[in-house]
Amino acid sequence: MIRIINKELYGWGKGIYAPEKILDDVVLYCGETHECFSVIKSDGSLWMWSTLTENSTPPTKIMGNVKDFKFTEEIHPTQYYNYFKCSIITENNDLWSWNTSSQNLIFIPSESQLTNVIDNVRDFKSRGMVWTVWNDDTFFVTKTDNSLWGWGNNDGGQLGDGTRINREIPFKIMGDITNVFSVANTSWAGTTVIIDTDNNLWTWDDSDPTPKILFENIVTIFGSSLLSDYGTLYEVKSNNLVAIRENVKLPSETVIE
């Protein structure tokens, strides 16, 4: 259990029955996965620590000038372990990241593991970033100018660049993007779905790895359902929109920029 009280971070559990102070001057608790914890202090520094018996580490400063941090966990499609990406957005909107897996669960990176991936990215809360695993690592971000960028594995055409060539360096896929979604188990879309500034919904798949407009007047996605800009919620059946509810409003926590 973790609590922040007057910028002091306290924790307890695993045989510790009374709160113990861990760190001072903490302003944001970023989350926990597999007993690895992360916080941001008021000076913008990111700190992490682990309570795993085999990999226990004290609070360690990872880097400064941090705006937000995120753990992303995916089930590896070909191996019997989970895959983790640790991602940092700095105050000047640079994206840094490093990887680990449930095989080692070493989340505290060495200096050589930290990678400055791409600059001018949108915040996590804006749905501007998606990590997907499709036969391996495939990544998408939207920049602050609303352009969509991708990199990683592309043997199934999942990057949407019209090729099946893997990309180690981020490249621009298209512009004028509001949201990017990872959508699974649908008959009407590939793994990645894009909504542009004109409320067109774009997608692609392994049979045609070039982005194409599938539907118009769509502002967001709930699971496999689509919400139109005039408030109608649709299901997709045989690649056609079927209205299931009218006058639907976006929930307050949904961010559309």
Per-residue pLDDT of the chain (257 residues; tens, 9 = 90+): 888 999 999 988 777 778 889 999 999 998 887 788 899 999 999 999 888 666 678 999 999 999 988 887 655 545 555 667 788 999 999 999 887 765 556 678 888 888 899 999 988 766 666 655 444 578 888 899 999 998 888 888 888 888 999 998 999 999 998 888 877 656 666 678 889 999 999 988 778 889 999 899 998 887 778 999 889 999 887 767 889 999 987 765 444 33
In a domain, 155, yes or no: yes
Range of the domain at 174: 120-245
User: CA quadruple 72, 75, 77, 81: dihedral positive or negative?
Assistant: positive
In a domain, 207, yes or no: yes
Which pair of tokens denotes residue 137?
């690592």
Report the C-alpha gap between 209 and 190 in whole angstroms. 9
Nearest to 56 by CA among 68, 64, 48: 48
Q: Is 109 within 8 Å of 63 (Cβ atoms)? A: no
Q: How many domains does the chain have?
A: 1
In a domain, 145, yes or no: yes
Report the C-alpha gap between 56 and 54 in whole angstroms. 6
In a domain, 227, yes or no: yes
φ, ψ of residue 183 to 5 degrees: the values are: -120, 125
Alpha helical stretches, state H, 77-158: none
Helix, strand or coil for residue 189?
A: coil
Q: Is 115 within 8 Å of 90 (Cβ atoms)? A: no
Whole-model pTM: value is 0.78
In a domain, 41, yes or no: no
